[in-house]
Structure 1
Amino acid sequence: MSAEPRHPWLVLIGLSFGVCVTNGFARFAYGLILPAMKAELHWTYAQAGWLNTANAIGYIIGAVITMVMISRMNPSYLFNLGLVSTALCLFATGHDEALWWQTMWRILAGMFGAMSFSTAGALTAQLFQSDPKRNALAIAILFGFGGGLGIVLAGAALPLMIDYWGNGSWPWAWTIIGLTCFVMLPLSFWAALQVRPPAQKQRQKPDLPLRAMLPELLGYAGFGLGYIVYFTFLSAWMTEQGSGAWLISATWVMLGLCLCLSPFVWRPVLARFSGGIPLAMILTGIALGSVMPVIWPKGLGLVISATVFGLCVFMSPGAVTSFVRQNLTPHSWGAAISLFTVVFAIAQTVGPYAAGLLGDLTGNIGTSLIAASAILLAGAGCAVLQPTLKSADA
């Protein structure tokens, strides 16, 4: 067991800032800028979805690199390398409208973001090791507060800015996001260096019980396939339904605030169950939140949708990290979390482009939200079959 850092809560805030950059900004703020880019650059839904698929392709590359390197390199260094590189990629995104330029930086942001995001979970798992309840809360806060903060900041500013300055201001949105990332870097750098991962007693690859973890892996794949559709196309759907900038902003701020609150909602569930029940419950909530904008596309329905979706969505990685911590030995945590990240990354690659194609074919992006909800429910059905691993001695 590694030594506890002197200021674990401050360390957790710093690591959460890293998730804010790699998730809240790098992956999900695009959904807020997409309607302006689509209108200004005359994109189809498939082209718009492609950029998040490109981001997901980069995420696969980064997740695989992390899985290979995490047993050979200090996770803190991987976290910091991924973080600063992601910030630079976001800053560069708005400097050219060409699709190849956008594609390149979305791929790189995904690649470096995966390095930082994968290792953030492994680093946070080292906090409060003697107190399982606090450990579960820390893991939940990492994903909930980290991603939620980014969405609150982006949701409060970007729709109103674009509405005031016009669709042509979308490059400034990326510049502002990049500058905000730079402000968060110092505390995140310091936090990662405070965590001392357990020393590797041997160099061989940890022996992961893949067959025993299959239901959880399949459930997490369903999460990757389904959740990204909502983040990518929610603002576009709202714009098509005639929603104004203030309603879009309010919906995303509510989404982000609920993400920040979600750790406290799910804390007892993550601490109580060590099998697949938490992930199954979370995926069911995400499915309901995903389909609600189509069923109830008015102001109140959209806010309720954001509330339900926000209270659940970022707890999926929290549930998986908690599952790994409760069922595997500490020296396997990094490799196991990296494996789950690779599975998730491969699955989420399909979602945005396929959803865009479906939206183009049907002339209604709401069809894609319905399909995503069905996939998420299937993932929940897989996850609920995951038992506690009998050999767990973590």
Structure 2
Amino acid sequence: MAQPTRAVWIALLLAAGPASAFGLARFAYAVLLPPMQADLDWSYATAALLNTVNAAGYLIGALVAARVGRRLGVRQAFLLSMVTTAVALGASALSTLLPVLLGLRLIAGATGAVTFILGAALTASLASAHPGRSSALLMGVYVAGGGLGIVVTGLLLPATLAWYPAELGWRIGWAVLGVVGILAWLMAAPAARRVPEPPPRPAGSRAPVRGMIPLLSGYTLFGAGYIAYMTFIVALLRGDGATDVQVSVFWIVLGLAAIGGGFAWSPVIGRLSGGRAPALLMVVVALGAGLPLFGSHPVLALGSAVLFGATFLALVGSVTHAAHRVLDPHQVTDGIGILTVGFAIGQSIGPLLSGILADSADGVRAGLALSVAVVLVGAVLFLGQRRHVPTTAADT
């Protein structure tokens, strides 16, 4: 089994998975949304629909990920889903038709979920030899890959949009994402082959859903709340007069904070049991998301990027780590899949509700206010999670 230092390096390479699933397939759309919205004459509700469909795809992927992993093997399915995600992203450059773009966002969402869940299962398998805080660190390193994806898109996409006219720039942006997705696959492939397959689930044994209801419900509300911020924050900054450089700086700071957060929060996540770590991080996420509600000053925007960025992916890691701690090893893949289903349901609902509210009320800030309230409720629900989930074969 890998030594601790080697295990961290393997986790870093596996982190190309969430870099693709989150940073490219999920969050990069926020940077491309304003020029697409202007070029294609979309309302906020239509713009949100693409993220809602992407989240619906994520839900589909979450439902089938464990089954696909058992059928193809976790390593093989993880790498295949990364390639498919990259192809779907690159193909989005080829059409202006809403149904086509919706279909590609659906595919990218589904394969992104499979990538994240199976990559997390591989990381949990790697972490099984490094219990306690080391386990939290490895999962934090893995999830922090989403921050790396955000940094890369922050460096590449605003520059691309500034270089080309709006009607061409967003197309080039999607093509760039496709190429970066292939590069991410090339990074993850050798690491995935160095990790043993997670233990197979015995027949009739499933992750006990009833014992994870607080974790599941809190994670569902997190999915609904955080995604409104990630969908519309760039549109809010643009509406407040932010330049291309300011948007790029914001996005890069957000991504760098997300990378650092995976390391910074791991000692806290390792010490707090049950749902206490996710609850704490949810409060910080709400603080970060709420800062832009107090004005348009750049300091508020950057403070939001730091607080939100350093915490939201670490929260994903804390929930995944909690599942790893409260479930038996053979239940972890299914357990992460169940939690991701709830997360995906929240992601499907959140952008659409926030988009409709943004169209009908006080602009994008109204949608962000809703997301803050939802996240705070989720923090309370997390606190009900017990330290250990009783194992029963019949519990589903």
Class of the TM-score when normalised by the shorter of the 2 chains: over 0.9
Match of 1:211 in 2: 210
**2-structure distance, mates of 1:173, 1:135:** 36
Shift of the alpha carbon at 1:165? Answer: 2.1
Residues 243/331 of structure 1: CA separation in 2 closer, same or farther (3 Å cut):
same
TM-fit CA distance, 1:211: 2.0
Equivalent residue, structure 2, for 1:344: 343
Q: 1:155 to 1:203 in 2, by over 3 A?
A: same
Q: Map 1:23-172; keep pairs closer than 5 Å.
A: 23-132=22-131, 133-144=133-144, 146-168=145-167, 169-172=169-172
2:65 counterpart letter in structure 1: T
Report the CA distance shift for 1:128/1:67 in structure 2 as closer, same or farther (over 3 A): closer
Return the offset for 1:129: 2.4
CA distance in 2, matches of 1:187, 1:159: 24
Q: What do residues 98-141 of structure 1 show as CA deviations (whole Å, max 9, x unaligned)?
A: 11111010000001111111111111011242322222101001
**What residue identity is the alignment partner of 1:274?**
S
Given that 1:71 and 1:335 are in contact with CA atoms closer than 8 Å, whether structure 2 keeps it comes out as no
Q: What residue is the counterpart of 1:366 in the other structure? A: 365
Per-residue CA deviations over 1:141-164 (Å, capped at 9, x if unaligned) read 1111x1111111111221232133
Q: Distance in 2 between matches of 1:5 and 1:114?
A: 29
**Partner Cα distance (2:51, 2:268) in 1:** 31
How far did residue 72 of structure 1 move? 4.3
SS of corresponding position for 1:212: helix
Cα distance, 1:87 vs structure 2? 0.6
Contact 1:224–1:347 (Cα < 8 Å) also in 2: yes
> C-alpha deviations, 1:5-61, integer Å up to 9, x for none?
894333212210111111100000000000110011110000000000010111111
Deviations 1:228-253 (A, max 9, x none): 01110011011111111111111111
Paired residues for 1:192-341 under 5 Å: 192-200=192-200, 202-204=202-204, 206-341=205-340
CA deviation after TM superposition for structure 1 residue 328, in Å:
1.1
- Aligned-pair CA distance for 1:67: 3.3
Distance 1:344 1:107, change over 3 A: same
In structure 1, how many angstroms separate the alpha carbons of the residues matched to 2:71 and 2:3? 22
Matched, 1:184 2:184: yes
Q: CA–CA distance in 2 between the matches of 1:58 and 1:241?
A: 32
Q: Which runs of 4+ in 1 moved over 4 A?
A: 3-7
In 2, the alpha carbon distance for the partners of 1:181 and 1:174 equals 10
The answer as to whether partners of 1:274 and 1:327 remain within 8 angstroms in 2 is: no
Q: Deviations over 1:63-101 (max 9, x none)?
A: 111133344442112211111100110010111111111
Closer/same/farther in 2, CA of residues 117 and 49 from structure 1, 3 Å limit: same
The C-alpha deviation readout for 1:306-362, integer Å capped at 9, x for no partner, is 000001100122111111111111011111001101111111101112111111111
Counterparts of 2:206 and 2:153, CA distance in 1: 41
The Cα shift of 1:166 comes to 2.8
Distance 2:69 2:274 in 1: 25
Query: Using the alignment, how far apart are the partners of 1:177 and 1:200 within structure 2?
Result: 34
Q: Report if the CA contact (8 A) 2:57-2:109 is conserved.
A: yes
Aligned to 2:94, what secondary structure does the other structure show?
coil
Query: Secondary structure of the equivalent of 2:363?
Result: coil
What is the letter of the counterpart of residue 229 of structure 1? A
Classify the secondary structure of the residue corresponding to 1:202: coil
- After superposition, the Cα gap between the structure-2 partners of 1:156 and 1:327, relative to the gap in structure 1 and judged at 3 Å, is same
**Aligned-partner Cα distance in 2 for 1:47–1:12:** 37
Match of 2:394 in 1: none
Deviations 1:148-188 (A, max 9, x none): 11111111221232133232211000001111111222221
Aligned-pair distance for 1:197?
2.4
Distance 1:164 1:72, change over 3 A: closer
* Structure 1 Cα separation of the partners of residues 389 and 156 of structure 2: 48
Structure 2 unaligned blocks of 5 or more: 392-396
Contact 1:220–1:316 (CA under 8 A) maintained in structure 2: no
Percent identity (aligned):
34
Q: Deviations for 1:245-265, whole angstroms, at most 9, x for unmatched residues?
A: 111111111100000000222
Alpha-carbon RMSD across the aligned residues, in angstroms, is: 1.8
- Quote the Cα distance in structure 1 between the aligned partners of 2:216 and 2:201: 27
Q: Deviations over 1:252-304 (max 9, x none)?
A: 11100000000222111111122101110111111111111121321111000
Q: Which residue of 1 aligns with 2:173?
A: 173
Structure 1 residue runs of 5 or longer lacking an equivalent are: none
Number of positions where the alignment pairs a residue of Structure 1 with one of Structure 2: 389
Contact conserved, 1:255 with 1:306, CA < 8 A, in 2?
yes
Change (3 A) 1:58 1:5: farther
Rate the CA distance shift 1:93–1:220 in 2: closer, same or farther, 3 A: same
Shift of 1:366: 0.7
Q: Distance in 2 between matches of 1:201 and 1:12?
A: 23
